Amino acid sequence: MRIDQRALDQLRDIKITRNYTRYAEGSVLIEFGHTKVLCTASIDHSVPRFLKGQGQGWVTAEYGMLPRSTHTRSDREAARGKQSGRTQEIQRLIGRSLRAMIDLKKLGEHTINIDCDVIQADGGTRTASITGAAVALVDAVNVLIEQKKIKQDPLKGLIAAVSVGIFQDQALLDLCYEEDSNCQTDLNVVMTQAGEFIEIQGTAEDKPFTREQCNSMLQLAEQGIKELIQKQKTALDW
Amino acid sequence: MRIDQRALDQLRDIKITRNYTRYAEGSVLIEFGHTKVLCTASIDHSVPRFLKGQGQGWVTAEYGMLPRSTHTRSDREAARGKQSGRTQEIQRLIGRSLRAMIDLKKLGEHTINIDCDVIQADGGTRTASITGAAVALVDAVNVLIEQKKIKQDPLKGLIAAVSVGIFQDQALLDLCYEEDSNCQTDLNVVMTQAGEFIEIQGTAEDKPFTREQCNSMLQLAEQGIKELIQKQKTALDW
Amino acid sequence: MRIDQRALDQLRDIKITRNYTRYAEGSVLIEFGHTKVLCTASIDHSVPRFLKGQGQGWVTAEYGMLPRSTHTRSDREAARGKQSGRTQEIQRLIGRSLRAMIDLKKLGEHTINIDCDVIQADGGTRTASITGAAVALVDAVNVLIEQKKIKQDPLKGLIAAVSVGIFQDQALLDLCYEEDSNCQTDLNVVMTQAGEFIEIQGTAEDKPFTREQCNSMLQLAEQGIKELIQKQKTALDW
Amino acid sequence: MRIDQRALDQLRDIKITRNYTRYAEGSVLIEFGHTKVLCTASIDHSVPRFLKGQGQGWVTAEYGMLPRSTHTRSDREAARGKQSGRTQEIQRLIGRSLRAMIDLKKLGEHTINIDCDVIQADGGTRTASITGAAVALVDAVNVLIEQKKIKQDPLKGLIAAVSVGIFQDQALLDLCYEEDSNCQTDLNVVMTQAGEFIEIQGTAEDKPFTREQCNSMLQLAEQGIKELIQKQKTALDW
Amino acid sequence: MRIDQRALDQLRDIKITRNYTRYAEGSVLIEFGHTKVLCTASIDHSVPRFLKGQGQGWVTAEYGMLPRSTHTRSDREAARGKQSGRTQEIQRLIGRSLRAMIDLKKLGEHTINIDCDVIQADGGTRTASITGAAVALVDAVNVLIEQKKIKQDPLKGLIAAVSVGIFQDQALLDLCYEEDSNCQTDLNVVMTQAGEFIEIQGTAEDKPFTREQCNSMLQLAEQGIKELIQKQKTALDW
Amino acid sequence: MRIDQRALDQLRDIKITRNYTRYAEGSVLIEFGHTKVLCTASIDHSVPRFLKGQGQGWVTAEYGMLPRSTHTRSDREAARGKQSGRTQEIQRLIGRSLRAMIDLKKLGEHTINIDCDVIQADGGTRTASITGAAVALVDAVNVLIEQKKIKQDPLKGLIAAVSVGIFQDQALLDLCYEEDSNCQTDLNVVMTQAGEFIEIQGTAEDKPFTREQCNSMLQLAEQGIKELIQKQKTALDW
Report whether pLDDT(D168) > 90: no
Q: Which positions in chain D touch F73 (Cβ < 8 Å)?
A: 24, 42, 44, 113, 115
Closest-CA distance of chain C to residue E185, Å: 26
Question: What tens digit of pLDDT does each residue of B59-106 get?
Answer: 999 999 999 999 999 999 999 999 999 999 999 999 999 999 999 999
Q: Is the pTM of this model over 0.90?
A: yes
CB contact under 8 A, A85 and D100: no
Question: What tens digit of pLDDT does each residue of F104-119 get?
Answer: 999 999 999 999 999 9
CA diameter of chain A: 56
**Which residues touch A216 (CB under 8 Å, ≥6 apart)?**
A171
- Cβ atoms of F151 and F176 within 8 Å: the answer is no
d(CA F211, CA E192): 12
Average pLDDT rounded to a whole number, residues A60-72: 98
Strand pairing report for F197-204 and F185-192:
antiparallel
Domain boundaries, chain B: 14-236
d(CA A119, CA A129): 11
Q: How far is CA F38 from CA C14, F24, F32, F232, in A?
A: 62, 11, 12, 15
Question: What tens digit of pLDDT does each residue of A106-143 get?
Answer: 999 999 999 999 999 999 999 999 999 999 999 999 99
CA-closest candidate to residue E112, choices E38, E16, E32, E27: E27
Closest-CA distance of chain C to residue E86, Å: 13
Q: Which positions in chain D touch A193 (Cβ < 8 Å)?
A: none
Would you state the torsion angle of the CA atoms of residues C184, C187, C188, C193, taken in this order, to the nearest 10 degrees? Answer: -140
Report whether pLDDT(F205) > 90: no
φ, ψ of residue A16 to 5 degrees: the values are -125, 115
pLDDT on residue E55 = 92
The angle at the Cα of B197, spanning B193 to B198, to the nearest 5 degrees, equals 95
**Which residues touch E72 (CB under 8 Å, ≥6 apart)?**
C23, C42
Average pLDDT rounded to a whole number, residues D75-100: 96
Average pLDDT rounded to a whole number, residues E154-174: 96
Helices vs. strands in chain C: H and E counts, helices first? 6, 9
Indicate the fold that domain D14-236 takes in CATH. Ribosomal Protein S5; domain 2 (3.30.230)
Question: What tens digit of pLDDT does each residue of E115-135 get?
Answer: 999 999 999 999 999 999 999
Q: Is the torsion defined by CA of A99, A104, A108, A109 positive or negative? A: positive
d(CA F179, CA F162): 14
Mean pLDDT of chain F: 96
The angle at the Cα of A117, spanning D200 to B29, to the nearest 5 degrees, equals 145
Side-by-side strand order, sheet with C111-120: C14-18, C26-32, C35-44, C111-120, C58-65
Task: State ipTM.
Answer: 0.95
pLDDT band at E168 (very low <50, low <70, confident <90, very high): confident
pLDDT on residue C1 = 79
d(CA F34, CA E235): 51
pLDDT on residue E80 = 94
> Coil, strand or helix: which one is A12?
coil
d(CA C135, CA C17): 10
Of A40, A68, A77, the CB nearest to B68: A40
pLDDT on residue D206 = 79
pLDDT on residue C217 = 97
3-state secondary structure chain B: CCCCCCCCCCCCCEEEEECCCCCCCEEEEEEECCEEEEEEEEEECCCCHHHCCCCCCEEEEEEEECCCCCCCCCCCHHHHCCCCHHHHHHHHHHHHHHHCCECHHHHCCCEEEEEEEEEECCCCHHHHHHHHHHHHHHHHHHHHHHCCCCCCCCECCCEEEEEEEEECCEEEECCCHHHHHHCCEEEEEEEECCCCEEEEEEEECCCCECHHHHHHHHHHHHHHHHHHHHHHHHHCCC
Closest-CA distance of chain A to residue B126, Å: 17
Question: What tens digit of pLDDT does each residue of A21-58 get?
Answer: 999 999 999 999 999 999 999 999 999 999 999 999 99
Of C92, C191, C209, the CB nearest to B197: C209
d(CA E55, CA E155): 17
State which residues of chain C have pLDDT below 50. none
**Which residues touch D183 (CB under 8 Å, ≥6 apart)?**
D165, D166, D167, D172, D175, D205, D206
Report whether pLDDT(E100) > 90: yes
3-state secondary structure chain E: CCCCCCCCCCCCCEEEEECCCCCCCEEEEEEECCEEEEEEEEEECCCCHHHCCCCCCEEEEEEEECCCCCCCCCCCHHHHCCCCHHHHHHHHHHHHHHHCCECHHHHCCCEEEEEEEEEECCCCHHHHHHHHHHHHHHHHHHHHHHCCCCCCCCECCCEEEEEEEEECCEEEECCCHHHHHHCCEEEEEEEECCCCEEEEEEEECCCCECHHHHHHHHHHHHHHHHHHHHHHHHHCCC
d(CA D17, CA D38): 9
Q: Which of E68, E80, E120 to mutate to test the interface with C (most CBs of C within 10 A)?
A: E68
The enclosing H or E element of C220 equals helix C211-235
Which amino acid is it at F201?
Answer: Q
- The β-bridge partners of E154 are none
CA diameter of chain F: 56
pLDDT band at B168 (very low <50, low <70, confident <90, very high): confident
Residues of C with CB under 8 A from a CB of E: 21-24, 27, 34, 38, 40, 42, 44, 62, 64, 66-73, 76-79, 81-83, 87, 113, 115, 117, 119-120
CA-closest candidate to residue C49, choices C109, C95, C113: C109
Phi-psi region for residue E99, left (φ > 0), alpha (ψ -120 to 50) or beta? alpha
Report whether pLDDT(A1) > 90: no
Closest-CA distance of chain B to residue A68, Å: 6
Please name the residue of chain B whose CA is at the shortest distance from the CA of residue A40. Answer: B68
Q: Which positions in chain D touch A208 (Cβ < 8 Å)?
A: 100, 191-192, 194, 196-198
Q: What percent of chain F has pLDDT over 90?
A: 97
Average pLDDT rounded to a whole number, residues D144-150: 97
- Cβ atoms of E59 and E104 within 8 Å: the answer is yes
d(CA E140, CA C167): 35
Q: How far is CA A17 from CA A29, A101, C9, D152, in A?
A: 5, 20, 61, 55
| F35 appears as a binding residue in the annotation | no
Which amino acid is it at B18?
Answer: R
pLDDT on residue A205 = 82
pLDDT on residue D231 = 98
> Coil, strand or helix: which one is C16?
strand
pLDDT band at F199 (very low <50, low <70, confident <90, very high): very high
Report whether pLDDT(F62) > 90: yes
Report whether pLDDT(A206) > 90: no
CA-closest candidate to residue E90, choices E143, E37, E169: E37
DSSP per-residue string spanning chain D: --TTS--TT----EEEEES-SSSSSEEEEEEETTEEEEEEEEEESS--GGGTTSS--EEEEEEEE-TTSSSSPPPPHHHHTS--HHHHHHHHHHHHHHHTTB-HHHH-S-EEEEEEEEEE-SS-HHHHHHHHHHHHHHHHHHHHHHTTS-SS--B---EEEEEEEEETTEEEES--HHHHHH-SEEEEEEEETTS-EEEEEEEESSS-B-HHHHHHHHHHHHHHHHHHHHHHHHHTT-
Please name the residue of chain D whose CA is at the shortest distance from the CA of residue F22. Answer: D120
Residues of A with CB under 8 A from a CB of D: 82, 85-86, 88-89, 91-92, 96, 100, 187, 191-192, 194, 196-204, 208-211, 214, 218, 222
Q: How far is CA F25 from CA C61, D71, D117, F43, F115, in A?
A: 46, 10, 21, 7, 12
Q: Which positions in chain F touch E204 (Cβ < 8 Å)?
A: 100, 196-199
Average pLDDT rounded to a whole number, residues A76-91: 96
Q: Which positions in chain E touch F99 (Cβ < 8 Å)?
A: none
Closest-CA distance of chain D to residue F211, Å: 38
Q: How far is CA C72 from CA A87, B238, C76, C120, D234, in A?
A: 40, 47, 12, 11, 64
d(CA E162, CA E229): 11
CB contact under 8 A, C85 and B89: yes
| D76 appears as a binding residue in the annotation | no
Closest-CA distance of chain E to residue F139, Å: 23
> Cα–chain-centroid distance for residue B156?
17
CA-closest candidate to residue E121, choices E173, E185, E60, E74: E74
